[in-house]
Amino acid sequence: MDSKYDVKEVTWLHPASDPLMKMFNGYRCTLAVIPACELKMFDKIAAHPEGISAARLAEQHSWSSSYTARLLDAQASFGLLKKTLGPDNIGIYHITESGKYMVSDFEGSFDGIFTLFSKVFLKSYSLIPELIKTGDEGDKAHWVLPELQINGSADKQCPQDQSHCTENKKPEGYQAKADKIRCAGQFAGQKPGENERRMYQIMVAQMYPYTDEIIHAFDLSRFKTVVDIGGGQGYLSFALSRGYPDMKITVMDMPHVIKFVREEFRPHDFDKLNVTYLEGDCLKDPIPVASLYIFCKVLHHFTEEKIEYVISKLHEKLPSGGAVLILEDTLSPTRDGPPPSHCFDLMLMARKVGKDRTFPEFASTLERCGFTKIKCILTNPECIYDVIMAIKD
Ligand SMILES: C[S@@+](CC[C@H](N)C(=O)[O-])C[C@H]1O[C@@H](n2cnc3c(N)ncnc32)[C@H](O)[C@@H]1O
């Protein structure tokens, strides 16, 4: 550091408390990104590839210039913006490669994750102490959060409301209540469908950086017919179709989901892809014949009985050499890591909509369904997709 003063930089390490400080600081950084997302600051900065000063940005939007500068400086400290010095030492802000992930129309945008974190995830974790104290195993799933009052799209069913709660029998009066309460992530003043769009965008954001690795984790070139069960917005199917042009892929999901996603998530190259949609509940409706069945982030919503039921059915249908591919965020066999998987498992617990499992748990379920060749690729903790493949003899 160039200074007229005697400045020395030191690093003081305290192995016992450093992990706690890292957790605490990570949490604070997350909270400090949220206001920038809500103000769509990353979109606004990205619209100025030449860079923009806090004063000009503030002027364009009638914001406070000094507060804007402080919020932008924080984003620069997180590596989401780069700050250079312009004439008169005025800070000029540019979007960074990481910051591009915060721009709302970027394909793998994280913008929705941070916004949802502030409104819904925090609330979910706050339900846990009461759950632990009462041991309430009731059948009321908490994708519906009472504080999120309906406003506008009461008649629209949200995907979580129906499908993510397949583990739970809906209580008496549930439908009537659904007229008054919106499901998680839907907020006052929000346009209809925004909640669904955001939830499926979050799934895209989490897969986007790893798409290539995921579709090539195993060589899938021999599978010519594929059903992506609970395929949601179809992002994985589209990527598979681009990576394996001979593959004929069906995205199967609940009817209300398919109706929504086929409009909202249609990629620009859809006509060139070998992907079709199918409305159906995999626990009730016929599943088309295929050589590969995929469950990507679906089985954590199901009980063992439901997993065993549907996978046994698929085992019967598969030809020899056919397979089931499961993408899930697995817990370590000793169930003490990795931390992000536990965070997700606790959110499922808080809402009573399922649970995360270990690879050995998945493997023994797959064995009970008749599979003998079971492989697994465990990925780094930041990637929520471990890849399990079970092949029929
Ligand atoms: C967490 S989302 C994952 C979506 C997509 N596979 C992805 O990774 O982005 C779970 C999906 O499973 C679907 N789903 C849940 N139960 C289902 C069932 N019984 N039959 C078909 N789809 C189901 C939900 O509607 C939802 O789209």
Domains along the chain? 18-102 (1.10.10.10), 111-194 (no CATH), 200-336+352-391 (3.40.50.150)
- Taking the C-alpha atoms of residue 192 and residue 201, their distance in angstroms, rounded to an integer, is 15
At 192 the pLDDT is 59
Query: How many CA atoms lie within 13 Å of 353's alpha carbon, on the beta-carbon side?
Result: 21
pLDDT above 70 (res 147)? no
- Taking the C-alpha atoms of residue 243 and residue 133, their distance in angstroms, rounded to an integer, is 49
Pocket test for ligand 1, best of 203, 253, 306 (most atoms within 8 A of CB): 253
- Taking the C-alpha atoms of residue 109 and residue 277, their distance in angstroms, rounded to an integer, is 24
Pocket test for ligand 1, best of 107, 113, 163 (most atoms within 8 A of CB): 163
Residue nearest to atom 25 of ligand 1 (CA): 163
Query: How many CA atoms lie within 13 Å of 28's alpha carbon, on the beta-carbon side?
Result: 8
Q: Give the pairing of strands 323-328 and 292-296.
A: parallel
Give the confidence band of 181 by pLDDT, cuts at 50, 70, 90. Answer: very low
- Token pair for residue 126? 């706050």
- Cβ proximity of 267 and 249 under 8 Å: no
Distance 50 CA to ligand 1 centre (A): 42
Judge whether 300 counts as a catalytic residue: yes
- Token pair for residue 44? 């606004």
pTM of the full structure: 0.88
- Token pair for residue 196? 């669904």
Segment 341-345 shows an average pLDDT of: 96
Segment 29-38 shows an average pLDDT of: 95
Per-residue buried b or exposed e for 207-223, using 16+ beta carbons within 10 Å of the residue's own CB: bbebbeebbebbebeeb
Residue nearest to atom 3 of ligand 1 (CA): 297
pLDDT above 60 (res 188)? no
At 160 the pLDDT is 40
CA-204 nearest atom, ligand 1? 9
Mean pLDDT of the chain: 88
Among 264, 93, 143, CA closest to 194: 264
Among 116, 59, 60, 57, CA closest to 81: 57
At 159 the pLDDT is 38
Question: Pick the catalytic residue: 142, 164, 300, 301?
Answer: 300
Residue nearest to atom 9 of ligand 1 (CA): 203
Give 143's DSSP letter: T
Q: CB within 6 Å of ligand 1 — which residues?
A: 159, 163, 166, 203, 229-233, 235-236, 253-254, 257, 281-283, 296-298, 301
pLDDT above 60 (res 51)? yes
Distance 163 CA to ligand 1 centre (A): 7
Give the confidence band of 205 by pLDDT, cuts at 50, 70, 90. Answer: very high
CA-285 nearest atom, ligand 1? 20
pLDDT above 60 (res 157)? no
Segment 1-15 shows an average pLDDT of: 89
